[in-house]
Amino acid sequence: MQVGVIMGGDSMEREISFMTGNEVIKNLDKTKYEVVPIPINTRFQLIDQIRDLSFAFIALHGEFGEDGKIQAMLETMHVPYTGCGIFASALCMNKIMSKIIFKNCAIETPGWIHIKLDVYNSYEDKNLFMKDFNLDKKFFPLVVKPNKGGSSIGIFVVNTKEELLNSIDLSFKFDKDVIIEDFIHGEEITVSVLNGEVLPIIGIKPEASFFNYESKYSKNGVEEKIISLPKTLHNKVKTIAETIWKEFSLQVYARIDMIISGGEIYVLEINTLSGMTENSLIPKSAKAYGIPFNELLDKIIEYSLMIDRY
């Protein structure tokens, strides 16, 4: 079977996409698949390259990767592909909509305030902006992040009003919608799910104040290891992950980031096209479950082919 590995793209996460794509190409079983690298610079050149593909392995990240757009293109052309479908991809890319659904499912998530670029720019007096959005009553630190995006690009932890306003300006360079979120002190964990099965949980201890871009993609930026939680807590984490899998209509594989604080579990976000580099979390979790990387790729393809998307 011919497998085209689509990588690159025009998002801010282009570099990470190539890292994922090259690792996938390296580890796909060449006795099973005819592997075709498909590096793209713009989305417009993709149509001719995927027209005759038997199967697409999506190694894109960010916009036109995780947001449902390439999934829609592939479905229109009847090319089967890896991972979540159009709806789940678009929904999980939108942090605000995800948080609203978390709350509707009685799943804890850090409190947040949604700021739109045009509204923010309408305030000449930023002190009035702070007051109108109740930011003058918030306790630092706070987290500022674009509504859409990944790899922690454009995310800032701030400790003062000046840092907050500067970080809002910077985050607006990545999106027209920005979230100001309560910073939750606690233990960061990530939960990988493969075809509905919750894999071993990974604890994350970044050198920085949070799991930022440098932590994710440098060898010494973070300590990541499989952890054993108390049974009651583990079962609660597992139940939350299974609920999210169902309510968000996730498929094939996904990764859910959480923080445990004071016995409460807060869900941060869902990653529908998590990285597949040597430092990536899903392969580490799968390996601890007894699934080596090349077999994980086989399973991703197998489970994806089982889905009737048309």
Query: Is 159 marked within a binding site?
Result: no
Q: Tell me: pLDDT of 59 over 60.
A: yes
What's the token pair of residue 30?
């060449």
Q: How far apart are CA 75 and CA 59, in angstroms?
A: 16
Q: What is the pLDDT of residue 212?
A: 44
> 151 an active-site residue?
yes
Give the angle subtended at the CA of 245 by the CAs of 55 and 249, to the nearest 5°: 60
Q: What is the pLDDT of residue 211?
A: 47
Q: Tell me: pLDDT of 214 over 60.
A: no
Judge contact between 281 and 255, C-beta under 8 A. yes
- What is the arithmetic mean of pLDDT over 152-173? 93
> 249 an active-site residue?
no
Q: Tell me: pLDDT of 232 over 80.
A: yes
Average pLDDT, the chain: 92
Pairing mode, if any, of strands 222-226 and 253-261? unpaired
Report how far apart, in Å, the C-alpha atoms of 127 and of each of 131, 134, 162, 309 are: 6, 11, 11, 50
Q: How far apart are CA 91 and CA 102, in angstroms?
A: 12
* Contacts of 306 by beta carbon, 8 Å cutoff, 6+ apart: none
Name all domains of the chain by residue range, CATH numbers in brackets: 2-83 (3.40.50.20), 91-108+185-305 (3.30.470.20), 112-182 (3.30.1490.20)
Which of the following is catalytic: 89, 167, 215, 280? Answer: 280
Which of the following is catalytic: 11, 17, 89, 151? Answer: 151
Quick one: what percent of the chain has pLDDT higher than 70? 94
Q: How far apart are CA 49 and CA 53, in angstroms?
A: 8
Q: pLDDT band for 82, please (50, 70, 90 cuts).
A: very high
Q: How far apart are CA 143 and CA 171, in angstroms?
A: 11
Query: Is 294 marked within a binding site?
Result: no
Which of the following is catalytic: 13, 23, 66, 181? Answer: 13
Determine how many CB atoms are found less than 10 A away from the CB of residue 235: 11
Query: Is 302 marked within a binding site?
Result: no
- What is the arithmetic mean of pLDDT over 88-101? 97
pLDDT tens per residue, range 246-297: 999 999 999 999 999 999 999 999 999 999 876 799 999 999 999 999 999 9
Q: Tell me: pLDDT of 309 over 50.
A: yes
Q: What is the pLDDT of residue 139?
A: 93
- What is the arithmetic mean of pLDDT over 207-212? 54
Quick one: what percent of the chain has pLDDT higher than 90? 79
> 122 an active-site residue?
no
Query: Model-level pTM?
Result: 0.92
